[in-house]
Structure 1
Amino acid sequence: MSVLPCFYAQRGPLVLCVFVMTVARGQVRYSIPEEMTKGSLVGNIVQDLGLDVKRLKSGRARIFTEDSRDYIGLNVDKGTLLVKERIDREELCAQVSPCSLHFQIILENPMELHRIDVEILDINDHAPVFNRKEINFQISEFAVPGARFSLDSAHDPDVGLNTLQRYTLMPTDYFSLKEQSRNDGTKYVEMVLQSPLDREREEELKLTLTAFDGGSPQKSGTIKIDVTVIDVNDNTPVFSQSVYRVSLAENAAIGKGVLTVRATDKDKGANGEVTYSFSQNLFSVDPSSGEIRLIGELDFEESAIHEFKIQAKDQGGLSDSSEVIVEVTDVNDNAPKMTLMSFSNNIPENAPLGTVVAMINIQDSDSEENGKITCFIDRDLPFKIESSLTNYYSIFTDSELDREDIPEYNITITAKDSGSPSLFSKKILNVKITDVNDHAPQFEQDSYNAYVMENNSPSLSLFSVKAHDADLGANARVSYFISDNDLNGTPISSLVSINSESGTVYATKSFDYEQLKSFTITVKAQDAGSPPLSSNVSVKITIQDQNDNAPQVLYPVQSGASVVAEIVPRSADVGYLVTKVVAVDVDSGQNAWLSYKLQKATDRALFEVGLQNGEIRTVRQVTDKDAVKQRLTVVVEDNGQPSRSATVNVNVAVADSFPEVLSEFTDFTHDKDYNDNLTFYLVLALAVVSFLFIVSIIAILSVKCYRWRRERMFYKSGANLPVIPYYPPLYADVGGTGTLQHVYNYEVCRTTDSRKSDLKFLQPSSQNSYGPKGSKAEERERLRRSCRKNRDTAYYFFSLTDPFSASHILLPRSYSTLHLYIKPLQCDTSRHFETEHL
């Protein structure tokens, strides 16, 4: 304990000392006199609490009081407590002693709480005062000595020595004073008759009752007493009890009967009639019956006991008095009162466990169980409430917070007492959870597929990606980027770009489906948090085909150097397969679906073209009247929108003999118009046919004469079938090689129905076509044996090295089945004639 120097009061010579008592656990008690002037020093909390002035400023030190008036102020700069307004102890505490002010000094960062008690010392600033200025008594002359007469008590709001100490009565010839004490320590006096009265000697007495306090200087108050002496009545009323005690609940209804007092008088008649009376604001008494009733509202918290004097007086003026004590029992009629001392309404979602959100003070003015408080909050909230000091509660985080899950909480604090029935009060605190960048952007899809038509314009918008970030503000502001990888050595940035804000992907060039069919990019979504978070998504961009390529005819090959004709025998039946137009389209899908139509024909009634397969077949029986030379123009058209097409001219020779073919063969032309300059074409055709005829006769007869005879004899038909030169078609190599790089043996089984055709690949011949004669003889013998077994089979041989040297065709009378054997002969590469396609 530490003691400060004495404080000298400004009023009078009274010397008062201020005592300071420092209590452990942050509690300090000061004592100051009442009525100190504003700005007077109460104490130095920096020294008494062991604090620093800097700590007061950094902790934003402030005073918290439980009531609305602030009598004491805090000088943060000096660390002292000062009187803010005049303190009247009697107004503040009435008769309660000791009288103290209780408040707390709160510091933050970290939170500290120091309890300060300031005791207000009483000074003698009030004199004893009577409620009335004069008291009148009518006393019978037959009043016996010892009769008591109740006098008004003086009231002095001071306490201790400064309050009422004693009474004096002047003069003291007939009466003396008798002082009595109540349970609460207050004093009252009774005037006692010492000697009989004699109305004849003194009919009226004038007395003065003086009340003195014990202060220095001493103060006093007086009241006049007038005593009128009456005659006859010589008995006084007497109460049945000297003290009446009763308990009454504070919520008792107005008008409720409290108790009934009883006083008796031995006199008869009018002198024995007793009336009751007392002076009290909360109770009333029936003058005749002595029944006391409640006429005001009781409040246990204001006053727990009421004591007053009741007087019984007869008609002769004689009276008796008795003490009535009404004890007020507490009723749970006050709900707990909550005061918010500190509150942080914004908490980051990554706040650690145990972060203090609010501090609350809770008071209940009821007593015992009615004032016992239980405080709680909802269990499903991530917060917890605990009591740090008596009547003080702290709310702090109890589990992890997630703003994206719940952005704010309404914490309902319930304070409940233990009364019956229990009363409670609630307070709602709204706590907002502030955002932290703890979520990366998330795309709406795991992957994206985009489609763009080829030949697009640059800067065309292809598609948009969208990513959402569950955070707020800058933490949720998403930007988009494309990972700059390479695609076959080409940077992705040269193909597409992206709007960093909207996520829209644009083409930076025109795409060609035939060069690039699809590619994949990686889009990155990144937020603006610190540090930023990101996620990636794969986007596949597929180029869609447009019909920008016309069909290409692979067969028959259109060449201006020579004329190639398909031979149709005049004995051909309906549906005879003349040839097949082969075409391709580098586009895809329906843009590559080809259809074939016959555009022009020398005789449209003789041929037709398969719409889907391009097969040219006869639609009727070939007759002798049909022209040898037939020219067909076939249109190949794709299924695109708009469609593209290509045309091909097919020359067909209708003949049974080779000379008949030769006579018309050279008459074909690749000109689109068959009838222009007819004479020129006839002359040219004659020259070509003559030349070809001579060359073919010489070549075929010189090389194949013997073989030709034997084969003709084998059939025994006597039919003269000419040796027809055949030039294999040149097909564009789909793989891009241009030509076949090797020479192979092929076996083709071909019938009038293309669906039953057969192609057989044979192993390359191990013998050169120009090898020993025995190898050729063996081969021919094998073919002859095969011909004997298959009378309806035609064999077609040719050498790619020299088509005219070893080529001939054997046509049987029946054409139901046609096997085409193609046997390229291996020879020196400098001499052979290669074909690109079969």
Structure 2
Amino acid sequence: MSDRTMARQVLLFICFLSLGSVLGQVSYSIPEEMAKGSLVGNIAQDLGLDFKRLKSGKARIYTGDSAEYIELNKDRGVLLIKERIDREALCGQTTPCALHLQITLENPMEFYSVTIEIVDVNDNAPMFSAKETKFDISELSPTGSKFILETAADDDVGINGVQSYLLNPADHFVLKTQDMPDGSKNVQLILQKPLDREIHEHISLLLTAVDGGDPQMSGTMPIIITVEDANDNAPVCFLPVYKTSIAENSPKGTILTTVKASDADQGQNGKVEYYITKSSGGTTNIFEIDRVEGVLKLSGYIDYEKNKHFQIDVQARDPGRHSDTCKVIVDIIDVNDNQPVINIMSKPSALSEDSKAGTVVTMLNAQDSDSGDNGKVQCSINDNVPFSLKSTANNFFSLVTDGDLDRERVSEFNVSVTCADEGVPSLSSSVILSLQISDVNDNVPVFEKISYEAFVQENNTPGLSIFTVRAEDADFNQNARLSYILEDSSVNGVPVFSLVSVSADSGVIHAVRSFDYEQIKYFHFRVKAQDGGSPPLSSNVNVKIIIQDQNDNAPQVLYPVQSGGSVVAEIVPRSADVGYLVTKVVAVDVDSGQNAWLSYKLQKATDRALFEVGLQNGEIRTVRQVTDKDAVKQRLAVVVEDNGQPSRSATVNVNVALADSFPEVLSEFTDFTHDKEYNDNLTFYLVLALAVVSFLFIVSIIAILSVKCYRWRRERMFYKSGANLPVIPYYPPLYADVGGTGTLQHVYNYDVCRTTDSRKSDLKYVRPCSESIISLDTSGTQTLTHAHKEKLTSESFDDQVRMDILVHVF
């Protein structure tokens, strides 16, 4: 494991120690090299957590950027070995060696610190880096001469590391072990018996390094000594320890210091060479020394986060292999060359738009492996987002809401978290957090219009699609799924459900039945749009349906009244002038608009040259002077036609008698009924009936003339005084000229005097009526407001008196 990773773990360990009292901490101790699946500890029991909480909180282990050696079994609540742990690969010579884990829980968010100490096992034997060591020792070397030996390395630590050295044989030399301030051992070979080249030119020794583990392990290195002559003085270093410092970003070739040593010998035996024998951390390739000058230079790259100090052993050696050793201590100066590392403690889930301010969204951890101000980190987020970043502990931050959320306005936020150190220049790193805002049913449906108005032709087909109401809901998914409901109401006492219906899904309004403009011209109702949220929200809109008229009614003749058992005859004196008003055909059409505009045409007549019909007013007038040659009996057929498409019509027969006296009329009167075939057996009864009728007729005429004279005198008096006689016109009920459409542009009143014999009734044209009381409104509230007024003089009024003779045929 790299020193940088070790430093991060140690920093995390310190941070979580400071939070342990608040968040909870537990420690375990296990030996290295445990088998995969071995039990580390019952974390649920030790932290006082329930198994259900582990599952509901989505418990997981956070280890940073280090390898995952430990796994969490949520079902059992225990920590297990996931991968075999090699303490030497994990921590090297660092003690104690520990794994620092964080267990995080969500909903609510919690985290706990777990420290697992890895106990060393004696699984490594001491080893020498060189296969053998050779010395050339002068035979003149005095007793007590020292020769520095290479020490053995043992990856184990503590008692499992190298504890002692053994030399075999020990005839001429003995070992001397010296503990150094850094905890290492300096092993020297001491000459205890003078050498004699003539006796032993070569001496072979075996150096054994023994550790203190159980079982005990050892390593050996052969030592070959060659005895030579003359050179009996060893080099001596000027200083035992050299100290220097260098910045971690220094380039290769940077000079650290110069090591100097002297040798009292002369000539070749006094020539000193310098060698690097050992460097802490095993990084001998990082530094190099000039063998002749002793200049120590940087030959590789150094990283403060991996090694803060170096201790270099420099050996000064003469050609006779006499040597002295000095140490060079190099302090590494930190440079701000590491960006902060941002770790997301838990992945943020969807955030409800009704979340209150202060809701924790996620937690962050920011680490900078630099030291001092270079390692101090401050984090911030981008502006214009409803979130804030709060510091909870050393380099731990909580992202919380600090404003209102509205999914309909912004459904997703990209929060940029930037962490910068306090170095010069400052280094920073960023991470983008994508936060989805989940929907809440907080918007009511809104219709496209404030109110709706639609037109439909009468006599429509039931089930006809009239139009569509539409509403929109700014919410999402189910909260925006709309249903359209017809609100309960009534139209003229009839439930609106019997008139129209609305499709719950599409909002299409259908006609339930066929409409009749003459019964209902328009109606109102309300449609409700309701969403699928819980609880649901709704809104209403007013809808007005206007029924459009069709020409589905033929004109109806009000006057003259047609009956199957009687004949109505209009009497025209032979002395009548041109333009004499014979009668007026009065008709109405219950349709409206142009469908109710009526025109009158003379279809056929006994004498077409004698009469004409007013196209607009239906007045039948003479077009020429009546002569004696004209037949007394005249039959006219008048067609009343509306202006609809296609048009509809009605036909009325008008009987006219041209006569100056009643006997003349009577002589021709019975001819009106000759269109029917009679049985010969009825002749007797007809003669008898005529005799009775004649008698009654004479009596009636006398009575009528008396009454008429009386009324005529009274009317003359009223006309002279400016008074108007009250006249009640007769029209069938439920007929009206609505809206001044022109159906009844000229309304006339008639005075009718009837006897017990309908054939002897009298009808007198009086004057135009100023107002009609005929109405089609079933409520009886509408009247005919447009009526043509026409003034007649008293003289013209007297000339237009005529009598209607009703003849009943038995």
* TM-score for the superposition, normalised by structure 2: 0.69
Between the aligned partners of 1:552 and 1:659, the Cα distance in structure 2 is 32
SS at match of 1:369: helix
> Deviation at 1:375?
3.8
Q: Aligned runs of 1:211-360 on 2, under 5 Å?
A: 211=209, 221-228=219-226, 242-253=240-251, 255-259=252-256, 261=258, 263=260, 275-278=273-276, 280-287=284-291, 290=294, 292-313=296-317, 321-343=325-347, 345-360=349-364
Alpha carbons of 1:340 and 1:613: their partners in 2 closer, same or farther (altered >3 Å)? same
Offset at residue 504 of structure 1 (A):
3.4
Report deviation, 1:118. 2.8
What is the CA distance between 1:99 and its match in structure 2?
1.6
How far apart, CA to CA, are the structure 2 residues paired with 1:521 and 1:823?
Answer: 54
- SS in structure 2 of the partner of residue 281 of structure 1: helix
Change (3 A) 1:636 1:450: same
Residues in 1 aligned to 2:650 and 2:55: alpha-carbon distance in whole angstroms: 96
State how 1:698-717 maps to structure 2 within 5 Å. none
User: What is the deviation of 1:547?
Assistant: 0.8
The 1:94/1:528 distance shift into structure 2, 3 A limit, reads: same
Match of 2:793 among 816, 819, 823: 819
- 2:731 matched to which residue of 1? 732
Deviation at 1:588, TM superposition (A): 0.8
Specify whether residues 669 and 241 from structure 1 end up closer, same or farther in structure 2 by C-alpha distance, changes over 3 A only.
farther
Aligned to 1:423: 428
How far 1:208 sits from its partner (Å)? Answer: 5.7
> 1:248–1:258: 8 Å Cα contact kept in structure 2?
no
**Following superposition of structure 1 onto structure 2, how do residues 486-525 of structure 1 map, counting pairs within 5 Å?**
486-525=490-529
State the match for 2:569 in structure 1.
563
One-letter amino acid matched to 2:87: R
**2:527 partner letter:** V
Q: Distance in 2 between matches of 1:138 and 1:65?
A: 54
Q: Is the 8 A contact 2:20 2:112 kept in 1?
A: no
Deviations 1:407-442 (A, max 9, x none): 454555444444434131425445362x44444444
Q: Is the Cα contact below 8 Å between 2:567 and 2:672 reproduced in 1?
A: no
Matched residue, 1:181: 180
Match of residue 595 from structure 2:
591
* 1:278–1:309 contact (8 Å) kept in structure 2: yes
Structure 1 650/220 Cα, relative in aligned 2: closer, same or farther at 3 Å?
same
SS at match of 1:537: strand
Q: 1:561 to 1:275 in 2, by over 3 A?
A: same
Residues in 2 aligned to 1:568 and 1:549: alpha-carbon distance in whole angstroms: 39
Q: State the partner residue of 1:100.
A: 98
Where do residues 98-137 of structure 1 align in structure 2 (5 Å cutoff)? 98-107=96-105, 110-137=108-135
**Aligned partner (choices 62, 65, 70) of residue 63 of structure 2:** 65
Structure 1 position 393, deviation (Å): 4.0
In the aligned structure 2, how far is the partner of 1:617 from the partner of 1:822?
A: 15
* Higher relative contact order, chain-length normalized (CA < 8 Å, sep 6+): 2
Q: Does 1:464 align with 2:468?
A: yes
1:90 maps to a residue whose letter is E
Whole-angstrom distance in 1 between the partners of 2:307 and 2:765: 142
Aligned to 2:685: none
CA contact (8 A) 2:27 2:114 kept: yes
| Structure 1 contact 452–544 (Cα < 8 Å) conserved | yes
Q: Which is further off, 96-105 or 359-368?
A: 359-368
Instruction: Give distance in 2, aligned partners of 1:704 and 1:38.
Output: 137
Change (3 A) 1:149 1:586: same
Counterpart for residue 807 of structure 2: none
Q: CA deviation at 1:591?
A: 0.9
Bigger mean CA deviation after superposition, 138-147 or 274-283: 138-147
Q: Count the aligned residue pairs.
A: 707
Shift of 1:643: 0.6
The 5 A counterparts of 1:71-86 are 71-72=69-70, 86=84
Check 1:373–1:227 CA distance in 2 against 1; reply closer, same or farther (3 A cut).
Answer: same
Q: Distance in 2 between matches of 1:444 and 1:282?
A: 78
Residue aligned with 1:522, SS: strand
Q: Secondary structure at the match of 2:516?
A: coil
Relative distance call for 1:736 and 1:277 in structure 2 (3 A) is same
State the match for 1:156 in structure 2: 154
1:551 and 1:584 in contact (8 A); partners too: yes
With over 3 angstroms needed to count, the CA separation of the structure-2 counterparts of 1:666 and 1:550, relative to structure 1, is farther
Render the CA deviation track for 1:105-136: whole Å, top value 9, x for unaligned. 44556544332223334455545432113223
Q: Structure 1 pair 702/70, CA: closer, same or farther in 2 (3 Å)?
A: closer
Please tell me whether residue 482 in structure 1 is matched to residue 486 in structure 2.
Answer: yes
* Cα pair 2:313 2:328 within 8 Å, conserved: yes
Distance 1:808 1:128 in 2: 147
| One-letter amino acid of the structure 1 residue matched with residue 469 of structure 2 | V
Tell me what 1:787 maps to: none
Q: Distance in 2 between matches of 1:68 and 1:234?
A: 55
More deviation in 592-601 or 234-243? 234-243
CA distance in 2: counterparts of 1:758 and 1:641, whole angstroms: 26
Once the 2 structures are TM-superposed, how far is the Cα of residue 550 of structure 1 from its aligned partner?
Answer: 1.7
Q: What is the CA–CA distance in structure 1 between the aligned matches of 2:92 and 2:445, rounded to whole Å?
A: 69
Q: Deviations over 1:699-723 (max 9, x none)?
A: 7699869x99xx9xxxxxxxxxxxx
Aligned position for 1:635? 639
Hey, what's the Cα distance between the residues in 1 that align with 2:706 and 2:60?
132
Instruction: Measure, in 1, the Cα distance between the counterparts of 2:64 and 2:562.
Output: 112
Distance 2:670 2:359 in 1: 100
Rounded Cα–Cα distance in structure 2 between residues aligned with 1:218 and 1:704: 162
Q: Structure 1 residues 608, 299: closer, same or farther in 2, change over 3 A? A: farther
Instruction: Map 1:771-786 onto structure 2 (within 5 A).
Output: none
- The CA deviation string for residues 171-191 of structure 1, in whole angstroms up to 9 with x for no partner, is 596898574736x44343566
For residues 376-420 of structure 1, the C-alpha deviation after alignment (integer angstroms, 9 at most, x for no partner) is 444444444444444444445444544444445455544444443
Q: Is the 8 A contact 1:459 1:508 kept in 2?
A: yes
* Residue pair 1:653, 1:661 contacting (<8 A) in 2 also: no
- SS of the aligned residue for 1:278 comes to strand
Single out whichever of 112-121 and 187-196 deviates more from structure 2: 187-196
Change in Cα spacing, 1:436 to 1:698, as seen in structure 2 (3 Å) is closer
Deviation at 1:512, TM superposition (A): 2.0
Unaligned runs of 5+ in 2: 1-18, 278-283, 678-690, 717-726, 737-743, 767-789, 799-803, 805-810
SS of aligned partner of 1:103: strand
Any conservation in 2 of the 1:208–1:223 contact (CA below 8 Å)? Answer: yes
Residue identity matched to 1:114 = Y
- Once the two structures are aligned, what percentage of the paired residues are identical? 50
TM-score normalised by the chain length of structure 1: 0.67
Q: Is the 8 A contact 2:458 2:547 kept in 1?
A: yes
Q: Name the CA shift for 1:395/1:542 in 2 (closer, same or farther; >3 Å).
A: same
Query: Distance in 1 between the 2:587 and 2:763 partners?
Result: 30
Distance 1:736 1:208, change over 3 A: closer
Q: How big is the shift at 1:639?
A: 1.6
CA contact (8 A) 1:336 1:373 kept: yes
Q: Equivalences for 1:577-656 in 2 at 5 Å?
A: 582-600=586-604, 611-614=615-618, 634-648=638-652
Relative distance call for 1:39 and 1:618 in structure 2 (3 A) is closer
Could you say if the C-alpha distance between residues 443 and 198 of structure 1 is closer, same or farther in structure 2, counting changes exceeding 3 Å? same
